[in-house]
Amino acid sequence: MSRLGTNLTCRLPDGRTLGYAEFGCPNGRPLMWFHGFPMSRLDGWAADRIARRRGIRVIAPDRPGFGLSTFQPSRRIVDWPADVKALADHIGIKRFAVLGLSGGGPYAVACAYALPEQTMTACGVLIGGPPWEAGPHYMPWFARLTSWASNYCPTVLQALSAMLIGSLRWIMTTGWATKKLDAFLERLSKERRETEAAERAAGNITDEPEPEISAADRRQRAMANWFGGFDQGSKAFVQEARLLSAPTWGFRLEDVEYDKVQIWHGAKDFNSPIEMMRYLAKRLQHADLHEYRDDNHFTMFERLDAVINALMHEDA
């Protein structure tokens, strides 16, 4: 089964629904894309153009409770690989690469731990969520506060986050915010077009430029991406905040035998401090940490094409 779409679902063995989206080339080399926190399958849009140009099929599943996926009480990070395997069986692929983005990073490492090595052609972590066992003191205050609230007053955190997201949704529909958002997205689109033009001039890209989508479509896509993780409310947000900040991910990092986990990270990442990612790379049996001195959690996105190219080169 191979079809592109943003609102696809499959039935898991335990009866839950797993939502997913597909981007790129429908018959390309498969790449499982694990979304950031608290995003959804729709942040796979970021890889769509790159994937089409490079002949890659991006499969982006929603984690439980996000987007279209059924909430799963008492879930663990280490439970995720079973859902990934079920999705792979559903769409008919035996081997695939994995890329965990931001909060999806720990789930990529969990796959490296739990899935048979012959199942994964490559495993990557881009600006990954860090292991809190490295030391919570490295994390910014708001992350520590969210972690505390998710453990000791989850109902309050759920209510507050729902109010905040509802307010942000409303604000983004106002005329002032719409103009600001359109200008921001146009600037990003212009920068991308200029970069692609330079790459074509250098002979690094041979395909023709793609038609630009309208400002309204860009805005709709951005809003769906930013808020899609809250389509079922904020319960999954609270659950995942607790999981990502837990003392462990449900397994010993030293027990991950997969060869090898590729990690790309900016040294100026405030959300995910580099000290914690160095800890992760040292604890894994086989890991390469690609550290970028001047990049942060957001500027690393400019390296997405190079990251995907390097990861899928491992797959070749």
For residue 209, what pLDDT band results from cuts at 50, 70 and 90?
low
Structural domains in the chain? 5-315 (3.40.50.1820)
Is the model's pLDDT at 225 over the cut of 90?
Answer: no
Residue type, 69: S
Q: What percent of the chain lies above the pLDDT cut of 70?
A: 94
Is the model's pLDDT at 314 over the cut of 70?
Answer: no
Could you report the per-residue pLDDT of 62-96, keeping only the tens digit for each?
A: 999 999 999 999 999 999 999 999 999 999 999 99
Quote the tokens at residue 205. Answer: 């890209």
Give the DSSP letter string of the chain. ----EEEEEEE-TTS-EEEEEEEE-TTSEEEEEE--TT--GGGGGGGHHHHHHHTEEEEEEPPTTSTTSPP-TT--GGGHHHHHHHHHHHHT-S-EEEEEEGGGHHHHHHHHHHS-TTTEEEEEEESPPPPGGG-GGGS-HHHHHHHHHHHH-HHHHHHHHHHHHHHHHHHTTSHHHHHHHHHHHHHHHHHHHHHHHHHHHTTS--SPPPPPPPHHHHHHHHHHHHHGGGTT-SHHHHHHHHHHTSS-SSS-GGG---S-EEEEEETT-SSS-HHHHHHHHHHSSSEEEEEETT--TTGGGGGHHHHHHHHHHHH-
For residue 172, what pLDDT band results from cuts at 50, 70 and 90?
confident
For residue 192, what pLDDT band results from cuts at 50, 70 and 90?
confident
What is the pLDDT averaged over residues 24-40? Answer: 96
pLDDT of residue 69: 98
CA 61 to chain centre: 9
What is the pLDDT averaged over residues 227-248? Answer: 96
For residue 99, what pLDDT band results from cuts at 50, 70 and 90?
very high
Give the DSSP letter string of 243-266. HHTSS-SSS-GGG---S-EEEEEE
Q: Which residue has the higher pLDDT, 223 or 188?
A: 223
Q: Which residue has the higher pLDDT, 161 or 211?
A: 161
Nearest to 104 by CA among 6, 240, 302, 303: 240
pLDDT of residue 214: 79
**Which of 2-11, 159-168, 197-206 comes out lowest in average pLDDT?**
197-206
pLDDT of residue 1: 41
Could you report the per-residue pLDDT of 142-162, keeping only the tens digit for each?
A: 999 999 999 999 999 999 999
> Please, are residues 158 and 235 in contact by the beta-carbon 8 Å criterion?
yes
What is the pLDDT averaged over residues 83-111? Answer: 98
Is the model's pLDDT at 253 over the cut of 80?
Answer: yes
pLDDT of residue 315: 60
Is the model's pLDDT at 3 over the cut of 60?
Answer: no
For residue 206, what pLDDT band results from cuts at 50, 70 and 90?
low
Quote the tokens at residue 37. Answer: 């926190």
pLDDT of residue 213: 74
